[in-house]
Structure 1
Amino acid sequence: MTARRRSTQVTALAAAAVACVSLLSGCGALPGTAEADDDGIAVMTWAPEGTRATDVPGMPAMAQAFARWVNAEGGIHGRRLEVFTCDDHNESVGAARCAARAVEEDVVAVVGSYSQHGRSFMSPLEGAAIPYLGGYGLTEEEFTSPLSYPVNGGLPALVAGNGQQLAAGRCDRVALVRPDNVGGDQLPRLLDAGLRGGGATAAVPAADVRAPEDATSYRDAARQALEGSATGSKGGGRSCVTAMLGGRTGTFFDSFRRLVDADAPVRTASVVGGVQQSLVDRTGGSASPLEGTYATGWYPAGSDRRWDAMRKVVREHAFGDNRIDTDDPGVQTTWVAYTALRAALESLDADEAVTADTVRDALDNGGAIRTGGLTPPLRWHYEDLLAAHDFPRIVNTSVTYQRVDAGRLAAVRDGFVDVERTLEGGAADL
């Protein structure tokens, strides 16, 4: 990644825009299946499974398939990659236990994982100097801890990018539906920064519609959103509603479509995880009410050929494991994180000890890591960090614009959109 010199202090620990809010889909996990190997390289992947909150067990399953593939190719400098998995049960105690187990197993990194409880897991990892590579991007600690190495911009990048995408879609008035909690309180400012950064003709600020996180119906929120997005513009602008309720986003849109005439000029939108291919498939595919909906993502659309290598590994090494959905952003994040891990490990000398310290040094001081075009080159040097005190560890400020077209999430435009300036401007208002 092109070096970016910063004039502001980027190491202060502050409340991130995404603290304690579950807005994105994640993945679940299995009990640990690896056994310590004196000649192996031990890592861990964790995520919740079997809870009433966000569950998608594909992240640890993808980690295990990746390890089988690497080991079938001869390992890393001849050493086997051993993957431990852990289920944090969507609980702070569970997250702390997973971190404690990572320390006990002497893993060299925690990779491609999902947890909402950064305070519980990051402190034990920091105490043992274990790097956290490629978290899902949910918590403050993922973007402030010097031992965290995120591979995407997390929720802040998605929200800012969603504002820019709506601006490009000529939205004249925008309503944001978001969780009624402390983390959700940060989202309107990031969305508004994106609208401004995209040169929106839209009225800013967007209408702020607060909604419960666990509702079974969102009729009231849908009505408020419809009213908040109403526009009297005669200049060709649109009424736009974007919902960021994580796994409940589909429930919101189900309530919303019941209030809106099918021919009404209302644009719907969300971020990856709120709207993803599995939801479109469940709601009718090409006949889905989500047809035409915008979705801002971190990576290329799931149909992009840059994912071919991942799909091949899943076909050949996952043994039909139906937990892995290659269109799921959690599975994709795990693939990108393990790709980065492999590059960091292969940068070490063949006879060099592989420890948490040497892995961390490779990430801190090594060259830029390429991920096959799924992200810009990744590097976590000081000059690559973001000039935003709430999330300085973001080094990948790129997003993609997608849209549901003929029942598939497809790219709206080629390449990535950089939201670096928007993030820095939005963070200044937090």
Structure 2
Amino acid sequence: MTGRRPFSFPRPLRTATALAACTAVVGASLAGCGVLPGGSAGARAPITVMTFAPEETRATNMPGMPAMAQAYAKYVNEKGGIDGHELRVLTCNEHNTTAGAAACARRAVAEGAVAVVGSYSQNGRAFMAPLEAAGVPYIGGYGVSEEEFTSYLSYPVNGGQAALLAGNGRQLADSCSQVSLVRPDTIAGDNLPVLLNTGLSEGDRRPSADVKAAEDATEYLAEAERARDEAGGRSGCVTAVLGERTANFFDSFRRLPKDDRGVRISSVLSSVDQPLIDRTGGAGGPFEGAYMTGWYPDAGDARWAVMRQVIKDHAFGDDRIDPADAGVQTTWIAYTVLEKVIEALDRESVTPSAVSHALDTGVSVDTGGLTPVLRWRFEDMLGVPGFPRIVNPNVTFQVVRDGRLVAQRPGFVNVARTMSQAPMA
């Protein structure tokens, strides 16, 4: 068959034979034989990748993503690397700026990274241009920039904010008679009501009240009052999707004069996550009882057991990593993809073009049920206007109980049809 060698030893025998040959040579060092630190022999060339994310900024910070990448490298290298390759992880602070994102991408290219993996940046145009120029694939970004779902070198592992909004509409349609959506007063924000309302319509609900807000405000008392009034009675809901400012909005919402209507609140897991719920008081904070739409199973699900063990074994005491953080979870899934691709290639050395070619031609990645089986052939892509490269249109419905995000209903909800029907601008 094309691409297969006519004969090769099974991989474990090949590695064992190489180790025996090394130890038989007088004076040969383990390092010269390619033994990876803490693991078995690995005579293949090391693989370099990068994970970047903003850290120590005044806006969104995602330090858990590069920390998870480093823990993953320790984990696989202790086992002998990925298919005999030592994994070297570069990390870079993207600073939440276009200059920072571009600098991280250029450094990845300059230092020979075969991929950028499990990263976060809102500055898609800034980082994708250098990566595309060098042919370096972008695997499993967080899902917040347009380019992650349009660039031919991007391989997303979730449906991004589009899937979350469509799913949030579906989730709220089951429980809310009227919904108010608080969203940024920006061109990008203009698509959010379209997606949410398409989800609401599938439950025969009216379109949401569209409450526009400044994306850089520090308080939202006027918007909170309007959103609560528009949501109406006791079965009304207010959902807010303001990125890092979502916490500011719900702080304002909590400070409104009390009334007896009992309006429920909601958001999506690109704007609210478990660390934020913890920081704002947990079970006694503003998010208790809130509906949340996420990409993956809730953090207590048994399918995260391996990731949790890796964090315990290789990042114990590193408070940057919270296994309930959607960024940490995305990085774990992205590195799972990388590992499967490298194993499928089965090559002495790996190049960016080999990685992207393997992904384009049908490498199938089983993430242990954290996502559907992932594959990035043309026919696997959803082709939604504005988000053509989505291959995972699934979301999960969660709720905050006793300060923790837990499943509201079991399993995934596929929102491909909802997104396809949304009349995007």
User: TM bucket by the smaller chain?
Assistant: 0.7 to 0.9
Deviation of 1:106 after TM superposition, in Å, equals 1.3
Alignment of 1:195-206 (within 5 A): 195-197=200-202, 199-200=203-204, 202-204=205-207, 206=208
Alignment of 1:429 onto 2:418: no
Deviation of 1:366 after TM superposition, in Å, equals 3.0
Aligned twin of 1:14: none
Task: Write the deviation string for residues 227-248 of structure 1: whole angstroms up to 9, x where unpaired.
Answer: 22115xxxxx711100011222
Gaps of 5+ in 2: 1-42
Deviation of 1:352 after TM superposition, in Å, equals 4.1
User: Normalization by structure 1: what TM-score?
Assistant: 0.86
Aligned twin of 2:404: 408
Distance 1:49 1:285 in 2: 24
2:344 to 322, 344, 347: 347
Q: CA RMSD in A?
A: 1.6
1:43 to 36, 45, 49: 49
Deviation of 1:38 after TM superposition, in Å, equals 8.5
2:210 to 208, 211, 214: 208
Change (3 A) 1:282 1:91: closer
Alignment of 1:74-153 (within 5 A): 74-153=80-159
Alignment of 1:358 onto 2:354: yes
Distance 2:362 2:356 in 1: 10
Aligned twin of 2:160: 154
1:228 to 227, 230, 235: 230
Amino acid at match of 2:135: A
1:313 to 310, 314, 323: 310
Change (3 A) 1:423 1:260: farther
Deviation of 1:401 after TM superposition, in Å, equals 0.1
Distance 2:388 2:342 in 1: 25
Change (3 A) 1:283 1:382: same
Deviation of 1:260 after TM superposition, in Å, equals 5.6
SS at match of 1:371: coil
Aligned twin of 1:387: 383
Distance 1:367 1:338 in 2: 14
Distance 1:424 1:43 in 2: 34
2:366 to 370, 395, 416: 370
Change (3 A) 1:228 1:263: closer
Contact 2:143 2:159 (8 Å CA) reproduced? yes
Alignment of 1:319-334 (within 5 A): 319-334=316-331
Contact 2:52 2:94 (8 Å CA) reproduced? yes
Distance 1:109 1:345 in 2: 11
Change (3 A) 1:73 1:38: closer
Deviation of 1:262 after TM superposition, in Å, equals 6.7
Aligned twin of 2:244: 247
Deviation of 1:58 after TM superposition, in Å, equals 0.7
2:395 to 384, 387, 399: 399
Distance 1:285 1:252 in 2: 17
Aligned twin of 1:55: 61
SS at match of 2:91: strand
Distance 1:242 1:121 in 2: 31
Aligned twin of 1:193: 198
Aligned twin of 2:283: 286
Distance 1:176 1:305 in 2: 33
User: Normalization by structure 2: what TM-score?
Assistant: 0.87
Larger radius of gyration: 2
Distance 1:392 1:339 in 2: 23
Distance 1:219 1:266 in 2: 16
SS at match of 2:239: strand
Amino acid at match of 2:119: S
SS at match of 2:236: strand
Deviation of 1:298 after TM superposition, in Å, equals 0.3
Distance 2:252 2:353 in 1: 51
Distance 1:110 1:325 in 2: 21
Distance 1:137 1:260 in 2: 36
Aligned twin of 1:181: 186
Task: Write the deviation string for residues 124-171 of structure 1: whole angstroms up to 9, x where unpaired.
Answer: 1111111100011111111011100000000000011000000022x1
Distance 2:101 2:44 in 1: 26
Task: Write the deviation string for residues 287-343 of structure 1: whole angstroms up to 9, x where unpaired.
Answer: 223221000000011111111111110111114211111111111100000011101
Structure 1 stretches of 4+ with a deviation exceeding 3 A read: 260-263
Distance 1:367 1:97 in 2: 30
Percent identity reads: 58
Distance 1:82 1:408 in 2: 34
Gaps of 5+ in 1: 1-36, 232-236
SS at match of 2:181: strand
Contact 2:169 2:197 (8 Å CA) reproduced? yes
Amino acid at match of 1:259: L
Distance 1:263 1:67 in 2: 52
Distance 1:243 1:224 in 2: 13
Amino acid at match of 2:262: P
SS at match of 2:67: helix
Distance 1:145 1:346 in 2: 25
Amino acid at match of 1:203: R
SS at match of 2:345: coil
Distance 1:326 1:283 in 2: 18
